[in-house]
Amino acid sequence: MKFSSLTDRVKGGAADVWDMHYLARQAKDRGEDVIVLSVGDPDFPTPDAVIDKALQAMREGDTHYTSILGHDELRESIARQHRSSSGQVIEASNIITTSGAQNALFACSLCLLDPGDEAIVLQPMYVTYEATVQAPGATLVPVVLDAENGFRLDRERLSNAISERTRVIFYASPSNPTGIALDREELEFIAQLARQNDLWVIADEVYGNFVFDGEFNHISSLPGMSERTVTIGSMSKSYAMSGWRVGWVIAPHELIANLEKLALCMLYGLPGFIQQAAAYALQNCAPDLQHMREIYHRRRDYLFDAFSEMPGLQPLLPDAGMFMMLNVLGTGMNSAEFVRALYSATGVSVLDATAFGASAAGYVRVSYTVSDTELEEACRRIKAFVEHTNG
């Protein structure tokens, strides 16, 4: 039996780098003594009040079809928070809710790209970007950000990547995996190129609430960018609601109308009780968000100090998020070898960062979404491992 060419375009690459994570996850589920630092699912529970709100909404009957765009209250809450953070003038009518940020990215790709188009993506990039861009038949053009430059924006490479077929610039800020947040000067450069070449910009900002030092910068608020910027957001990380699958797109009205048509035959609206819970979280759970940010900040500093003292390891200090990139070439192993050897010797799983692009070769991504006790034990095991390796 024959399948469509779409099934080949959405396969993506580097799938094998997840094998060790899956092994570790299965071992953890069996009760084995392993520590999983290879995935970024918050270790915090969804706030009790959010769960209570969902239960209340279900009991009150919000269990039927909903608006394709999403509940007005949720969209208004998203708009209010985004206006406050970015200064961009938007309303609820500029927003459609989606089943998480990944659904938002995929839908936007389908609405903005045609076969033969090119989409520029800053690399290292999240693993699903490749398939997301390729699904409509477009070509992903990676702009490599070098480790030697701290994975900061390479202006010359970005400029040179633009061709007559370029339609979109994709980026995540703060980045998964690097944790780097683009500064205002970097965003102004991207904005200038977008205006000059009449390009869309898709800004994946799901980690924007977890910037540790200074303010988070939004490209959508820069001159001439509101009409060409697509902002992606999510409840997954900021409110420990990854399993609830609530995301959104903030965009010009015409794109929102097209996304609504797509959602009609793709999603048909989020569950109402989940939307009520998400709206409640946005309106009432800022203290919970602040608490999580403070803990991630403390864990980041702890890991950076611990790894800096271990032979053969060079950590990259992230601006935000829940991951740290770790150069392991000083151990005499490449990233794939290090991941396998570390897990075999210690039961600690980390992720080979080549999953995010060749520019991350030699790095592993370490997640700090486990308890402080587990994180300290993981560091003890990693320290003993590298000391033995370098001994």
Q: What's the predicted TM-score (pTM) here?
A: 0.94
pLDDT at 44 over 70: yes
Q: Please, are residues 335 and 362 in contact by the beta-carbon 8 Å criterion?
A: yes
Distance CA 130, CA 124 (A): 11
Domains of the chain: residue spans and CATH: 6-45+287-390 (3.90.1150.10), 48-285 (3.40.640.10)
Give the pLDDT score at 40: 82
H-type alpha helices, 202-271: 253-266
Distance CA 152, CA 66 (A): 42
pLDDT at 247 over 90: yes
Joined together, the tokens standing for residue 26 give: 């299965």
Q: 332-384: per-residue pLDDT in tens?
A: 999 999 999 999 999 999 999 998 988 899 999 999 999 999 999 999 999 99
The whole-number average pLDDT for the span 43-72 is 97
Chain centroid to Cα 193, Å, comes to 24
Give the pLDDT score at 391: 66
